[in-house]
Structure 1
Amino acid sequence: MFLDFAQNLARIGGSVSLDWFARHDLAVEQKSDDSPVTIADKATEAAIRREISQRFPDHAILGEEQGGTLGDHTYQWVIDPIDGTKTFIRGVPLYTTLIALLREGEPVVGVIYAPATGEMVSAALGHGARDERGRAVKVSSTTALKDAWFATTDPADLYKRDPRLSTGLLEHCLAARTWADAYGYMLLARGAIDIMTDPVMSPWDIAPLGVIVREAGGVFCNLQGESPAIGTSALACATVELQRAVLALGKPEA
């Protein structure tokens, strides 16, 4: 029930954002943290919140634009109406809508939906991960860095924050790609890439990712190798072998 509802929420939100996508009259504002926000972000979150409040009025909600607080709620929805607002503003169709449901603080449902392409990956704890057509998705079987494709949302930011890891990935992996945001985690869950990482994540950025990656057979942690329910950095890998190799790249040499 919850997974079907979450998928529907993502599609409802996506239809709102598409009304504003690639429009030349889209006004852009700067938030207090200097990140951009548009009327599309606000309208998309408002539409999703309305649906949740009507269906589950006793559930808590945390969203990027209207706020809220993570807590020990029995059920809490976490929303990123447009993950990749900068991508959205530039007219690149790889932005996504993110929906997560937390039960007592633990993510149990996750959805990544790309409205402009129609692609989706979603998962419920213990039930596997599926695409927009209901087909099971699975991570790749890659185990060696030399065979791995990796992606990160902003290569310059990764280098600034963790130059050792950034350089190691570029030197040892087979290929590197970007235009990522949550779309990169969708690609990893589908087996199209093997490593995805971001050094800084907000709760709404990361909430649905772990359950999706793990249900697709991958591993998910932060850049310290820990697996908190909701972290502040992300490392998704197709296999444990890749995870160990990537974490080793970021460690100082003895």
Structure 2
Amino acid sequence: MDFWTEILSFAEETTHRVGAQLLIDFGHTQETQKADGTLVTQSDRWADQEIREAIAQAFPEHGVLSEEVEHIFPDTDWCWIIDPIDGTTNFTRGIPLWGISLGLLYRGTPVFGHVYIPPLNHSFHGFWYGDSGLTGPTGAFLNHQPIHTRPDDPSGSQFFNLCARSLDVLRRNDPFPCKVRMLGVASYNLLTIASGAALGGVEATPKIWDIAAVWVIVQAAGGTWHSLEPEPIFPLQVGKDYSQQPYSTLVVSRAELVPFFLPLVQSVVSSA
């Protein structure tokens, strides 16, 4: 088994195993509120530990950064970034849209992403090497079928996704040039662009574990990732604590749409 096949097999087997237990817990778990106001459940903590232990056993030389425990970026060439349940509020309320996200970084930049949505049995993955010098398989996939972004122009029949903290976009832009959707899951918000369901989406305050995997999949599918922050997101810095760092982001299906949507969503940075 070559390296990338091993990586993909590990990601799929681990997230499907963890996801099977989470489906049992789904809608039947107590939540508590973290200091930043987001929810956390025992299921989040269990899944985080299960995935970290699986990585330590399969790839002991790889580092780990996770939402619930490990927030300091390690001094390793390879590092996994884990979001054990993206969409915890949906998970606790019985809304069947939440996922498990794994991103693999090489020298601080994501090169492989995998997101599993257990209630839908949707498994997304992609490879994107940038200027890393790495080679291997390419493309973005949903259940092993290739996916691509949508080529259409903005219109009333096309979708654009907002997050809960970007509602000011609607107040300041009436009417908005696409049908608006709000999904409650940062990774799935942006994956709908990779899969061709939506033309674009914005996330006002995602953390690094929300975006590491989808950063790869979106670009591998032909999409454009546009940071709304002054500094580039990647590469991550060794020794930095990423627990409180947000990354306001605009994602669109093709580069030509950045100047169209950017003036409409740029305010989410100041209002978040």
CA distance in 2, matches of 1:169, 1:6: 40
1:5 aligns with 2:14: no
1:147–1:173 CA contact under 8 A, matched in 2: no
How does 1:149-164 map onto structure 2 within 5 Å?
A: 149-154=159-164, 157-159=165-167, 163=168
CA distance in 2, matches of 1:173, 1:227: 28
2:18–2:50 CA contact under 8 A, matched in 1: yes
Q: TM-score normalized by structure 1?
A: 0.88
Cα distance, 1:118 vs. partner?
0.3
Q: Unmatched 5+ residue regions in structure 2? A: 1-5, 130-137, 237-245, 268-272
* Alpha-carbon spacing, 1:171–1:224, altered in 2? closer, same or farther (3 Å): farther
* Structure 2 residue aligned with 1:191: 196
1:140 aligned partner, one-letter code: R
Cα distance, 1:147 vs. partner?
5.5
* Alpha-carbon spacing, 1:211–1:251, altered in 2? closer, same or farther (3 Å): closer
2:154–2:178 CA contact under 8 A, matched in 1: no
Deviations 1:91-126 (A, max 9, x none): 011111110001110001111211111012110125
Cα distance, 1:225 vs. partner?
8.1
* RMSD across aligned positions (CA): 2.1
Cα distance, 1:224 vs. partner?
4.6
Residue of structure 2 aligned with 1:22, choices 27, 30, 49: 27
1:106 aligns with 2:113: no
1:175 aligned partner, one-letter code: K
Cα distance, 1:67 vs. partner?
2.0
1:210 aligned partner, one-letter code: W
* Alpha-carbon spacing, 1:31–1:59, altered in 2? closer, same or farther (3 Å): same
2:149 aligned partner, one-letter code: V
CA distance in 1, matches of 2:148, 2:174: 25
CA distance in 1, matches of 2:147, 2:101: 18
1:176 aligns with 2:180: yes
Deviations 1:117-173 (A, max 9, x none): 1012110125100111x110001002335553101231xx213xxx3x444665232
1:169–1:246 CA contact under 8 A, matched in 2: no
CA distance in 2, matches of 1:241, 1:146: 18
Equivalenced residues, count: 243
1:110–1:123 CA contact under 8 A, matched in 2: yes
Q: Percent identity?
A: 29
2:178 aligned partner, one-letter code: L
CA distance in 2, matches of 1:19, 1:118: 14
1:137 aligned partner, one-letter code: I
* Alpha-carbon spacing, 1:71–1:244, altered in 2? closer, same or farther (3 Å): farther
CA distance in 2, matches of 1:180, 1:139: 21
* Alpha-carbon spacing, 1:239–1:180, altered in 2? closer, same or farther (3 Å): farther
Cα distance, 1:213 vs. partner?
0.3
1:97–1:113 CA contact under 8 A, matched in 2: yes
1:131 aligned partner, one-letter code: L
Cα distance, 1:248 vs. partner?
2.5
* Alpha-carbon spacing, 1:200–1:145, altered in 2? closer, same or farther (3 Å): farther
CA distance in 1, matches of 2:107, 2:266: 33
Q: TM-score normalized by structure 2?
A: 0.82
* Alpha-carbon spacing, 1:169–1:209, altered in 2? closer, same or farther (3 Å): farther
CA distance in 1, matches of 2:230, 2:99: 26
* Alpha-carbon spacing, 1:27–1:146, altered in 2? closer, same or farther (3 Å): closer
CA distance in 1, matches of 2:148, 2:102: 20
Cα distance, 1:186 vs. partner?
2.0
CA distance in 2, matches of 1:227, 1:109: 19
Residue of structure 2 aligned with 1:234, choices 238, 244, 249: 249
SS in 1 for 2:119: coil
Cα distance, 1:66 vs. partner?
1.3
How does 1:43-122 map onto structure 2 within 5 Å?
A: 43-122=46-125
1:107–1:211 CA contact under 8 A, matched in 2: yes
SS in 2 for 1:62: strand
* Structure 2 residue aligned with 1:136: 146
SS in 2 for 1:82: strand
1:32 aligned partner, one-letter code: A
* Structure 2 residue aligned with 1:38: 41
1:245 aligns with 2:253: no
